[in-house]
Amino acid sequence: MKQLERRFNIITRDNPNLSSMVCFFRTVGGSFYSRKVIRDSFNQFVDKDDYRQDEKDEILSYLFGLK
């Protein structure tokens, strides 16, 4: 999880105009992270104002498919 956090921080630092959700998508895209790590990290790093709560399950399903 530390590696994911470092990667996320680098992406957000290099792309200040992107939302936290887009940065998170870039972080986990093509990665080897487990579903649990992705779900827990999503809750930790993605700002709740970047998505509607009723779409969260659909977003997570999409993220799980990016692997």
Q: What pLDDT, in 10s, does the model give residues 2-43?
A: 999 999 999 999 999 999 999 999 999 988 899 999 999 999
Q: Residue ranges per domain, the chain?
A: 19-65
Handedness of CA 16, 19, 22, 27 (dihedral sign): positive
pTM, two decimals, is: 0.89
Q: Is 1 helix (H, G, I), strand (E, B) or coil?
A: coil
Residue with tokens 């630092």: 13
- Kindly give the interhelix angle for 2-14 and 35-45, rounded to the nearest 10 degrees: 50
Average confidence (pLDDT) over 53-64: 95
What confidence category does residue 67 fall into, taking pLDDT thresholds of 50, 70 and 90? Answer: low
Rg of the chain taking only CA atoms, in angstroms:
11
Q: Is 12 helix (H, G, I), strand (E, B) or coil?
A: helix
